[in-house]
Amino acid sequence: MEDCIFCKIVKGDIPCSKVYEDENVLSFLDISPANKGHTLVIPKKHYEKFNEMPEDEASTLMSAANKVSKAVEKAIEPEGYSILINNGKAAGQEVGHVHLHIMPKYEKDDFKLLWTHSNYEEGEMGKVLEKIKTFL
């Protein structure tokens, strides 16, 4: 995609600190990391959101992320790490090309990937469940 910064990185038009590459996947260090070793894993093919990817391509992405996570964990030895894909502006997606974050985390971090808990009305959970299953 022409105006996509990550497509430009895939093409080599913009440099990156490459961690891993294969036929379908590229992984590189986040330029503005939450913590040192914060790594991105992206499909070379442009998709905006994870759900737009065919299942086999999503599996390939996740396999590569698994491989890279092992290396990041060994190299950085963080106290913990989060795996995150933001999809859509409301979820915090700033770059419109699917990217999986591998984010080293520490107890002392002043950012937490935590959420407040919502709840279902009586009978609502079952309806939501049935609606999701309709599409599987």
Q: What is the CA radius of gyration of the chain?
A: 17
Choose the one of ligand 5GP, Zn ion, none that binds residue 47, judging by a C-beta under 5 to 8 angstroms depending on kind.
Answer: none
Give the C-alpha separation, 106 to 108, whole Å. 5
Binding residue (CB under 6 A) for ligand 5GP from 94, 107, 121, 130: 94
**Which entry of 38, 46, 97, 99 is annotated as an active-site residue?**
99
Asked if 46 touches Zn ion (CB under 5 A), the answer is yes
Which own/partner contact pairs does 94-98 have at CB distance under 8 Å and 24+ positions apart? Answer: 95/4, 95/5, 95/6, 96/4, 96/48, 97/1, 97/4, 97/5, 97/6, 97/7, 97/42, 97/46, 97/47, 97/48, 98/42, 98/43, 98/47, 98/48, 98/49, 98/50, 98/52, 98/53, 98/61
* Residue 31 interacting entry, from ligand 5GP, Zn ion, none, C-beta within 5 to 8 Å by type: ligand 5GP
Judged by CB under 5 A, the chain residues 53 through 92 that form the site for Zn ion are: none
| Partner interacting with residue 46 (select from Zn ion, ligand 5GP, none; CB below 5-8 Å by kind) | Zn ion
Binds 5: which of Zn ion, ligand 5GP, none (CB < 5-8 Å by kind): ligand 5GP
Q: Is 18 helix (H, G, I), strand (E, B) or coil?
A: strand
95 scored as a contact of ligand 5GP (CB under 6 A): yes
By CB under 5 A, name the binding residues for Zn ion: 1, 4, 6-7, 46, 97
By CB under 6 A, name the binding residues for ligand 5GP: 5, 14, 16, 28-32, 86, 92-95
Catalytic residues: 99
